[in-house]
């Protein structure tokens, strides 16, 4: 049974920096310590984009230092707050495809995990760069990975959700070519679950008949009013990461609010 831990939207900042008064470094450090304590047996920890808040070198280097403390192996993805070139300059060991996109396929005995690069940049111009996009080159790569999955069910990880989340502001900057994406995925028929971040909210459901899970951030969260057009609003709610377990019957997905989680409950 493959166990995957998913962190998304780390938004690392330089030393002394905060976001709405919250310290991304401290919150992620607590999350890594929690994973080391309770999920050291994880097969992989996936960091699903928006690794740095402003895509600056110091923030990437602070993240790099923190990741050295993580016990399970890690795989890094990028999101709309990242810059591909600078990320690759700092994380020189990061896996890319043949065209330089930060994406990879990882095979486990019971599944194939496909990690996509949905960054719609350069140029880094708002709002275009904050939406997600899979160009024809990346779609062709995904087509090959799904075709080569064999008997393994495929799990797709992407920063931008490929469908509406219900939040007006965030939905304006979701994956812009979702119809192309789903047409490809449905043609193969082997995708068992889609995982995303970007929205800073715990959301689950299905789209085009495929289950999905969207995860909260370790730092700041999306406030609940659906109709707000401002995608930059944030609230202080518990930090979280996701846990995905591949079973013989499907995929189980949990969310761990690790800073408030209690493991000493007593029966009555």
Q: What is the DSSP string of 131-175?
A: SB---HHHHHHHHHHHHT-TTSPEEEE-SS-SS--S-HHHHTTSB
Instruction: Extract the tokens encoding 210.
Output: 């495929």
Domain count, the chain: 1
What are the φ and ψ backbone dihedral angles of 33, each rounded to 5 degrees? -60, -40
Return the pLDDT at 233: 83
* pLDDT band at residue 125 using 50, 70 and 90 as cut-offs: confident
**Better-scored residue on pLDDT, 180 or 232:** 180
- Distance from C-alpha of 2 to C-alpha of 101, rounded to nearest angstrom: 26
Residue 127 lies in a domain: yes
pLDDT value at 100 more than 70: yes
Segment 251-259 mean pLDDT = 96
Return the pLDDT at 186: 97
Nearest to 32 by CA among 237, 256, 252: 256
Percent of the chain at pLDDT exceeding 70:
99
pLDDT value at 130 more than 80: yes
Q: Quick one: residue 250, left, alpha or beta (phi over 0 = left, psi -120 to 50 = alpha)? A: left
Residue 267 lies in a domain: no
The residue range of the domain holding 50 is: 3-256
pLDDT value at 185 more than 80: yes
Q: What sign has the CA pseudo-torsion 208, 111, 52, 35?
A: positive
- Mean pLDDT (the chain, rounded): 95
- pTM more than 0.85: yes
Residue 123 lies in a domain: yes
Residue 25 lies in a domain: yes
- Quick check: 248 and 153 in contact, CB under 8 A? no
- Could you tell me the CATH number of the domain that includes residue 209? 3.60.21.10
Residue 113 lies in a domain: yes
Residue 261 lies in a domain: no
Residue 264 lies in a domain: no
Residue 265 lies in a domain: no
Q: What is the pLDDT of residues 20-57, one digit of tens each?
A: 999 999 999 999 999 999 999 999 999 999 999 999 99
């Amino acid at each position: 049974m493959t166990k995957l831990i998913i962190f998304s939207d780390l938004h690392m900042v330089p030393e002394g920096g905060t976001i709405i008064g919250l310290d991304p470094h401290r919150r992620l450090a607590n999350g890594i310590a929690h994973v080391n304590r309770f999920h050291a047996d994880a097969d992989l920890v996936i960091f699903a984009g928006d690794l740095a808040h402003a895509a600056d070198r110091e923030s990437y280097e602070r993240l790099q230092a923190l990741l050295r403390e993580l016990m399970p192996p890690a795989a890094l993805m990028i999101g709309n707050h990242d810059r591909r070139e600078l990320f690759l300059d700092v994380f020189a060991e990061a896996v890319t495809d043949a065209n330089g996109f930060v994406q990879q396929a990882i095979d486990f005995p019971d599944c194939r995990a496909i990690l996509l690069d949905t960054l719609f940049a350069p140029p880094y111009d708002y709002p275009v760069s904050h939406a997600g996009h899979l160009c024809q080159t990346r779609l062709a790569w995904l087509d090959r990975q799904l075709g080569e999955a064999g008997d393994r069910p495929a799990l797709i990880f992407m920063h931008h959700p490929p469908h509406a989340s219900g939040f007006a502001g965030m939905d304006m900057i979701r994956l812009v070519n979702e119809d192309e994406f789903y047409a490809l995925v449905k043609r193969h028929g082997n995708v068992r679950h889609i995982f995303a971040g970007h929205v800073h909210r715990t959301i689950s459901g299905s789209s085009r008949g495929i289950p999905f899970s969207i995860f909260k951030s370790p730092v700041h969260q999306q406030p609940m009013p659906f109709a707000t057009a401002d995608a930059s609003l944030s609230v202080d709610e518990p930090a979280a990461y996701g846990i995905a377990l591949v079973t013989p019957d499907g995929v189980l997905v949990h969310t761990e609010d690790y800073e408030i989680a209690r493991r000493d409950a007593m029966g009555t």
